[in-house]
């Protein structure tokens, strides 16, 4: 999945002649906190809600000093790189340009979440196991073999940073709700299992996080 396939068709960019109040109205309407400023297909920058609230909301945004550099992605940028840019700048939307620096649209954080929510990994029934492991000890082959010995399969994997720079956390999606034997096998191989969730507990947890996120979008 690349940026060109994720461009929103419902949100328009901001013009330099738009007032801060008009842009705030647009942000509230579409539940975003960032919008690109575009004139004649040229991306001029990204304005944030904080930029508007710290300045004269009755003035045209073309007169504003913006708080960030000009973040953007190109049309062929893959979804993981898009997420990295959005995380780096804490963006709720990111502008997309082509190889000629022509503005093509924007990708919304909501649309990325919807894309992942529809993926097979999230839709298939199962459970989740969270493992902490030393970087040098990581072997997806070994972990998969341990799970498969217990008549199950790893159908999804996410890796994220640990506070300890020598460690990483693995989030494994397993295609079974019965984790007892898998957890015991992982522990026999000296894997540090931090947490595990059955499908019912996972759904409740995800629903809580989804509700919190939607409340955040409506701020």
Domains of the chain: 3-116 (3.10.580.10), 120-213 (3.30.70.260)
pLDDT at 164: 80
Contact (CB, 8 A) for 45 and 37:
yes
Q: Which residue in 117, 124, 119 sits closest to 176, CA to CA?
A: 124
Taking residues 155-168, report their average pLDDT: 82
Average pLDDT, the chain: 86
Taking residues 186-214, report their average pLDDT: 71
pLDDT at 205: 54
Band of the pLDDT at 51, cuts 50, 70, 90? very high
146 DSSP 8-state letter: H
Contacts for 35 with CB less than 8 Å, ≥ 6 apart: 11, 13, 14, 23, 26, 27, 46, 47, 93, 106
| Pairing label, strands 42-48, 34-39 | antiparallel
pLDDT(208) > 90: no
Distance CA 190, CA 198 (A): 22
pLDDT at 87: 86
């Amino acid at each position: 999945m690349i940026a060109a396939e994720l461009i929103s068709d419902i949100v328009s960019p901001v013009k330099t002649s738009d007032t801060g109040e008009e842009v705030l109205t647009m942000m509230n309407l579409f539940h975003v906190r960032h919008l690109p400023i575009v004139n004649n297909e040229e991306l001029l920058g990204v304005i944030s809600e904080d930029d508007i609230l710290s300045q004269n909301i009755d003035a045209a945004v073309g007169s504003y000093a913006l708080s960030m550099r000009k973040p953007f992605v190109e049309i062929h940028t893959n979804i993981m790189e898009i997420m990295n840019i959005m995380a780096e700048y804490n963006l709720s939307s990111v502008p997309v340009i082509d190889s000629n620096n022509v503005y093509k649209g924007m990708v919304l954080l909501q649309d990325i979440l919807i894309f992942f929510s529809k993926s097979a990994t999230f839709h298939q029934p199962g459970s989740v196991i969270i493992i902490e492991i030393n970087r040098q000890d990581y072997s997806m082959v070994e972990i998969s073999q341990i799970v498969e010995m217990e008549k199950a399969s790893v159908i999804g994997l996410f890796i994220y940073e640990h506070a300890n720079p020598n460690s990483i956390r693995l989030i494994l999606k397993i295609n079974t709700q019965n984790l007892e034997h898998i957890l015991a096998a992982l522990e026999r191989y000296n894997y540090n299992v931090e947490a595990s969730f059955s499908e019912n507990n996972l759904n409740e947890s995800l629903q809580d996080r989804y509700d919190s996120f939607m409340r955040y979008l409506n701020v």
